[in-house]
C-alpha cells in the first residue's frame, strides 16, 4: 500500500524569469531545461514508482487547465484549486486534510530542477521514514557555493538518515554564507518536506490555530468535481498567508532534515538557468536555445529567443532573453533584480 | 555666380550599423541623431547659402527614389546614378566631368554627422580658395582621441588657410595613434575634399589614365533623364574601383589640407552613435531612443528599438538595438565588429 503522497505546489509567480515566465504561463509550465516543463519534471520523477501515490497538486484556478493537460492520463492524480494564493502553509494544510492522518506527504515545489532523480527518491524515502517517527522533515541541499539567496538549515543531533535541525537561518550576507559553507554544518532549505499528514495538522493547530481552523472549514465546506477539489472560498480567503517555514518548521520541536546532493536548482533567475544548462555550453561557455543566435567574441552568454534572431558581440556573463515581443538583457550578476523591472511587475 | 559644387556621395553600405542600416535603407537614410537623416543633414548644411551651388548627388540606382524624396523641392539638385559601385575615385570623377573645369567640387560623404555646420562652411570656403590655386584639398579633422579607425594626414608647409600634406598615414595602431595625437601634427582624414573639377580630372589622367578614360567614356555615352544622369554602364562597369585617396591624393604633388574642428563623427558604428548622442544621455550615461526602454543599474547603455520594449539590468557600455525583427547586443568596444555578424553580412 503506497503511503507517500507527493504534494506538488504550483504557487510561484516566477517574475525573475520574465519575460518568458508570464502570469498566464509561469515558470513551472515552461520547458526551461529541455523538452519537459519543470512541472512535468516534478511529476515525472516520482511516476511509475509504486512507493509513491499519485500526486496531489495544489494550484490556483488560472493554471488548472495547464496542469490537467500536463498530468495527462496520470492515473489517480488529484488537483486542489486554491481560492486564493496564501503561501505554502495553507496549501500544504489543504493537502494534509485531504489525506489520511497516517499518510506521509512529500511536499515538492513545481518549479525546481533536480538533475539526479535517484538521489531525490532515496532522500524522499529517508525523509518519509523520519516523518513516520513523528519528525517534520526538510530536505537539506548540500551547498556547493556561498549562496546568499537561500535560507540555511543548521544540523543538530544525528538521526537515522538525517539530523535534527538545530537552527533555521534566514538568507545570509556573503561573509556568513562563506562561513556556513566552510563549516560543513549548514544545508540549503530547498522547500522540499516530508510530514505525516495528521502530525502536520496537529503542529499547525498548535502554532497557528486560526489558520488550522480556517483550512479545516475550507475543506469541510469544499466540494469535489471529478479529480478536482474546490475548498470553500470564504474561510480560505480569510487566512493570513504564511510559509510553512514560519508557520510550523521554525516553531516545532520535531524539525529534522535529510541531507541530499541531487543536482538541485530552484532556477531562481536567468543566471541560475545558465548554471543549470552549463552542460549544454559551447567551448566559450555560451548557451543558445530556441531561435538561432550569432555570438561573436562572447563568453558565458545565455541567448534564448522564441523567434527573432539574437546577434551579440563582446559580451561576458550576460543573458539575452527574447520572448513574447519583449527583449531582456541582464548581466548574470543582475539577474536577481529582473523581477523589479516594470515589464515583470506589470504583466 | 556660385562656383562651389557640393558633391554628395551615397555609396557606403553601413553594415556596422546593422540591424538598423539595411541594404534597402542604409545608413545615410536613417534619422540616427534626430529628426533628419544623415543625408538630409549633408544637403541641409549647405542649402540656402548662395556661395554653394545645388548639390550633385552620386548614388546607386537602389537608393535613387529615397534620394529624390529627400531632396524634395531642392531647386537645381542633380543625381548621378552609378551603374556599379566603384569606390570614391570614379564617383568623384563622374561629378567632375559633369561640371565646368573651373568649378570647385566640395566632396562630402552622406553618412557623417557634423555638429557645427558654421565651422564646416568656413572650412569649405578655405578649402575652395586653396582648390582655386590648384591644390587638391582634404579636410583635416582635429583629433580629440587616439583613434585607430581612421587614416591620418600629416601637416607640411603652411598655406593660406591650411597646410600642404606631408604624409598620408594608414589607420595606425594604438601606440602610433597616441603619438600622432600628442604631436599635434596629424589630423584625421574625414573623406571631405575640395578640388577644381578640371584639376581633379587632370590628376586622375596622370595617375590613373585607364580610369580617367573609362569615366570620360561613361559620361560621353551617358544620358540625362530630367535631373538624373545615367553614365554608360559598360565602360563604368569595367573600372577597377579605387578610393580617391589611393588613386589621386597619395600620388599628387599638390595635396593640401585645411584643419577643422566641427563636431565631426562618421557614426562608424553603434559606439560612435552613442558618443554623438552623449548630450542626450541621462545621469547614468544611458541613451534611449524609439520605443520605451527600462534600464536598471545600467551605465552608458544605448537602447534603440523600433517597437519591442527593451529591458536591461546591470549593463555597462553596451548597445542594444532592436530593429526589423532583429536583436543586436554589443559592447561599445565590440561595435566595430558588428559588420562581421552573419545578419549584417547576409541581408
**For residue B102, how far is the Cα from the chain centroid?**
24
C-alpha cell belonging to residue B264: 565631426
Q: Do B342 and A313 touch (CB under 8 A)?
A: no
C-alpha cell belonging to residue A329: 538583457
A32 in Cβ contact with A25 (< 8 Å): no
Contact residues, chain A, for B309 at CB < 8 Å = 325-327, 343
Rounded to the nearest angstrom, the minimum Cα separation between A296 and chain B is 7
Q: Looking at residue B129, what DSSP letter applies?
A: H
- CB neighbour list of residue B13: distance below 8 Å, 6 or more residues apart: B21, B23, B26, B27
Does B272 sit behind a cis peptide bond, omega within 30 degrees of 0 on the bond before it? Answer: no
Q: Do B326 and A337 touch (CB under 8 A)?
A: no
Helix (H) or strand (E) holding B293: strand B293-296
Asked: is A4-265 a CATH 1.10.260.40 domain? The reply is no
- A179 contact B CB<8A: no
Contact residues, chain B, for A329 at CB < 8 Å = 310-313, 315, 318, 320, 329
> What pLDDT is recorded for position B106?
98
- A19 contact B CB<8A: yes
Nearest to A341 among B294, B329, B344 (CB): B294
pLDDT tens for each residue of A251-287: 999 999 999 999 999 999 999 999 999 999 999 999 9
Q: List phi, psi (to 5°) of B319.
A: -110, 130
Nearest to B343 among A294, A297, A335 (CB): A294
Q: Which residue of A has its CA nearest to B323?
A: A308
pLDDT tens for each residue of B67-111: 999 998 678 999 999 999 999 999 999 999 999 999 999 999 999
Contact residues, chain A, for B344 at CB < 8 Å = 311
Spans of all domains in chain B:
4-265, 270-345
- CA–CA distance, B199 with B205 (Å, rounded to integer): 10
A117 in Cβ contact with A45 (< 8 Å): yes
Among all chains, which residue has been given the C-alpha cell 529534522? A256
Q: List phi, psi (to 5°) of A279.
A: -70, -15
Give the residue-averaged pLDDT of B143-157: 95
> What pLDDT is recorded for position B14?
78
pLDDT tens for each residue of A62-106: 999 999 999 986 789 999 999 999 999 999 999 999 999 999 999
Q: How many CB pairs under 8 A join A and B?
A: 115
> What pLDDT is recorded for position B158?
97
- A313 contact B CB<8A: yes
**Residue A310: HSE in the Cβ half-sphere, 13 Å Cα cutoff:** 32
Rounded to the nearest angstrom, the minimum Cα separation between B85 and chain A is 28
> What pLDDT is recorded for position B254?
97
- B274 contact A CB<8A: no
Q: Do B329 and A313 touch (CB under 8 A)?
A: yes
DSSP string of A60-103, one letter each residue: EGGGHHHHHHHHTT-TT-EEEEESS---HHHHHHHHHHTS-TTP
> What pLDDT is recorded for position A1?
42
Predicted confidence (pLDDT) at residue A124 exceeds the cutoff of 90:
yes
Rounded to the nearest angstrom, the minimum Cα separation between A227 and chain B is 41
Amino acid at each position: 500500500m503506497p503511503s507517500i503522497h507527493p504534494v506538488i505546489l504550483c504557487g510561484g509567480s516566477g517574475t525573475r524569469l520574465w519575460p518568458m515566465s508570464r502570469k498566464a504561463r509561469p515558470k513551472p509550465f515552461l520547458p526551461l531545461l529541455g523538452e519537459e516543463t519543470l512541472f512535468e519534471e516534478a511529476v515525472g520523477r516520482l511516476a511509475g514508482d509504486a512507493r509513491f501515490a499519485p500526486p496531489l497538486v495544489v494550484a490556483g484556478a488560472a493554471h488548472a487547465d495547464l496542469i490537467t493537460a500536463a498530468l495527462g492520463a496520470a492515473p489517480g492524480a488529484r488537483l486542489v484549486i486554491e481560492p486564493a494564493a496564501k503561501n505554502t502553509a495553507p496549501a500544504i494544510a489543504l493537502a494534509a486534510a485531504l489525506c489520511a492522518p497516517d499518510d506521509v506527504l512529500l511536499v515538492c515545489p513545481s518549479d525546481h530542477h533536480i538533475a539526479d532523480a535517484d538521489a531525490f527518491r532515496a532522500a524522499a524515502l529517508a525523509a518519509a521514514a523520519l516523518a513516520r517517527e513523528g519528525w517534520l522533515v526538510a530536505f537539506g541541499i548540500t551547498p556547493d557555493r556561498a549562496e546568499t539567496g537561500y535560507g540555511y538549515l543548521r544540523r543538530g543531533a544525528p538521526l537515522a538518515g538525517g539530523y535534527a535541525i538545530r537552527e533555521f537561518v534566514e538568507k545570509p550576507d556573503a561573509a556568513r554564507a562563506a562561513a556556513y559553507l566552510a563549516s560543513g554544518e549548514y544545508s540549503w532549505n530547498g522547500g522540499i518536506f516530508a510530514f505525516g499528514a495528521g502530525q502536520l495538522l496537529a503542529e499547525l493547530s498548535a502554532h497557528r490555530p486560526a489558520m488550522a481552523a480556517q483550512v479545516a472549514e475550507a475543506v469541510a465546506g469544499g466540494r469535489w468535481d471529478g479529480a478536482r477539489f474546490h475548498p470553500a472560498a470564504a474561510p480560505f480567503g480569510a487566512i493570513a498567508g504564511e510559509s510553512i517555514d514560519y508557520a510550523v518548521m521554525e516553531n516545532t520541536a520535531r524539525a529534522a532534515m535529510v541531507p541530499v546532493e541531487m543536482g538541485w536548482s530552484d532556477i531562481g533567475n536567468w543566471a541560475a538557468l545558465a548554471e543549470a544548462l552549463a552542460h549544454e555550453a559551447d567551448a566559450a561557455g555560451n548557451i543558445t536555445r530556441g531561435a538561432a543566435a550569432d555570438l561573436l567574441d562572447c563568453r558565458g552568454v545565455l541567448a534564448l529567443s522564441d523567434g527573432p534572431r539574437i546577434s551579440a558581440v563582446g559580451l561576458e556573463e550576460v543573458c539575452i532573453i527574447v520572448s513574447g515581443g519583449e527583449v531582456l538583457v541582464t548581466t548574470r550578476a543582475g539577474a536577481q533584480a529582473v523581477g523589479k523591472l516594470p515589464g515583470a511587475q506589470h504583466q
